Amino acid sequence: MNYPNGKRSTKQSHAPKGKIKPDFSNRGMSLEEDINVTNQYYLEAGIAVVHKKPTPVQIVNVDYPKRSAAVIKEAYFKQASTTDFNGVYRGKYIDFEAKETKNKTSFPLSNVHQHQIDHMKAIEKHGGISFLILCFSPLEEVYLLPSSGLFLYWDDQWNGGRKSIPYAFVEKEGIQIPFHFQARVDYATALDKLYF
């Protein structure tokens, strides 16, 4: 391929022939950024309207070295945030949290907070759809796990149960989300399989 500088690329691919597993490690994006790109694609394609929720912050101190360059020096969270994303898909309200773990065998429940569980339970109670999008980074796998699976392990931990959700459970009860170019984390397809 010729690049704008007029020089031909000298880099050659030495990939083995046959089935190749995509390498996600060099994408340079986090799960949350990939979901933002997916949401933008969904919006432009008329598939869904989903946005990242802003974290409520109280700004206390701002430095104005010059008019065009304000610098926030001190700020505090106003309140605990609920979940990461919300919106509408196929006429249903959806609300979800996105989490990454470096653990290969389980997802630690310490990555979720009680106020998030309460919020997700309220969504379900009122007929909305809540779920987790979990990325097992070492395995390069992303899953959509319905909140019912999260609630099962969350509630059980207070009765002496596990403090994590086993990978095997996520693999069985969730839907794996393969990486795509435009819809990088195509959770709408997973929602179709589970709810529609």
Ligand-binding annotation for 186, yes or no, is: no
Ligand-binding annotation for 84, yes or no, is: yes
Ligand-binding annotation for 101, yes or no, is: no
Ligand-binding annotation for 157, yes or no, is: no
- Residue 146: how many CA atoms within 13 Å on its side-chain side? 14
The DSSP bridge partners found for residue 132 are: 97, 145
Answer left, alpha or beta for residue 46, where phi above 0 means left and psi between -120 and 50 means alpha. Answer: left
Q: Is 32 exposed, middle or buried (0-12, 13-18, 19+ CB in 10 A)?
A: middle
- In this structure, the number of other CB atoms found within 10 A of the CB of residue 38 comes to 24
Residues annotated in the binding site, as ranges?
82, 84, 97, 116
Residues annotated in the binding site for Mg(2+), as ranges?
82, 84, 97, 116
